[in-house]
Amino acid sequence: MDRFLDTFFNAEVLARYAPSILDGALVTVVLSVLIVLSGIGLGTLLACLRAYRIRPISFLIVIYADILRALPPLVVILVAYFGLPNVGVVLSASVVLYLVLTLVLAAFAEEIVWAGITSTPQGQWEAARSTGLGFTQALVWVVLPQAVRMVIPPLTNRAIAITKMTALGLVIGVPDILGNASTAQSFSANASPLTLAAIAYVILFLPFVIGSRWLEARFARPGA
């Protein structure tokens, strides 16, 4: 029992590395928020572009979404981080992580929002167009708000899944929660920093998960 406590809850180690993991938490939070905002934003934009049904553009969007959904994000992260400098693009590990996860989330968000757009009844378009709204206006004011409400559950689930992948930043040295905890673990030869990391993740992501429940309930209500 003592061995267990010493390994996972060593008070001295916990106290020593708590500040560094707190710093890491800040990095994780900032990355997560940026990834969610830009990933969902970009994905929604692509889904809207696809609504115009201009063949070459739709084709490119589908290719993009399918490839990024097929590739393991870790592969993309490694390729980008170790490959880009060879073509003269040097980006920090954090920026690479941000860009890759944003593009991955955008690929999923595009497919999810697109499904919402196509399942909005045709009558909504017709009502909007019959009152003189143009295609873009009908999309923005009538169809998209309904489409987004409809897909909030899968969208939030996917956003949470992708933001948790910020932990993959470990492999390229992003100083986020796991990165800092892992460094601390090798210095101290003790697993307590990792325990702290797990606690930090729960504290950070539990509100997201609870928030997504709230969002789902809020928009599941008819007429809301």
Partner 1 sequence: MARSPETTPTLEVRALHKAFGSEPVLRGIDLSVARSEMVFVLGPSGSGKSTMLRCCNRLEEPTSGEIFIEGDRLTGPGVNLNAMRQRVGMVFQSFNLYPHLTAMGNVTLALRRVQKKSRAEAEAIAAEALDKVGLSDRARHHPGQLSGGQQQRVAIARALALKPTVMLFDEPTSALDPELVGDVLAVMRDVKAAGMTMLVVSHEMGFAREAADRVIFMDGGRIVEQGPPDQVLGAPTHDRTRAFLRRFHA
For partner 1, the binding residues (CB under 8 A) are 121, 123-124, 126-134, 137, 141-142, 145-146, 149, 222-224
Nearer CB in complex with partner 1: 21/128: 128
Q: 175: Cβ–Cβ under 8 A, 6 or more apart, which residues? A: 23, 24, 27, 94
Token pair 């999309």 in the structure block, residue: 139
Nearer CB in complex with partner 1: 3/221: 221
Q: Whole-number minimum distance, CB 141 to partner 1, in Å?
A: 6
Nearer CB in complex with partner 1: 29/215: 215
Is residue 31 within 8 Å of 94, Cβ to Cβ? yes
Q: Which of 195, 122, 185, 115 is nearest to 147 (CA)?
A: 115
Longest dimension (CA), the chain: 75
Q: Whole-number minimum distance, CB 129 to partner 1, in Å?
A: 7
Q: Whole-number minimum distance, CB 128 to partner 1, in Å?
A: 8
Q: Whole-number minimum distance, CB 108 to partner 1, in Å?
A: 23
Q: Whole-number minimum distance, CB 140 to partner 1, in Å?
A: 9
Nearer CB in complex with partner 1: 134/207: 134
Nearer CB in complex with partner 1: 116/179: 116
Name the amino acid, one letter, at 207.
P
CA angle 195, 198, 201 (to 5 degrees): 150
Q: Whole-number minimum distance, CB 137 to partner 1, in Å?
A: 5
Nearer CB in complex with partner 1: 19/121: 121
Is residue 194 within 8 Å of 185, Cβ to Cβ? yes
Q: DSSP states of 93-151 as a string?
A: HHHHHHHHHHHHHHHHHHHHHHHHHHTS-HHHHHHHHHTT--HHHHIIIIIHHHHHHHT
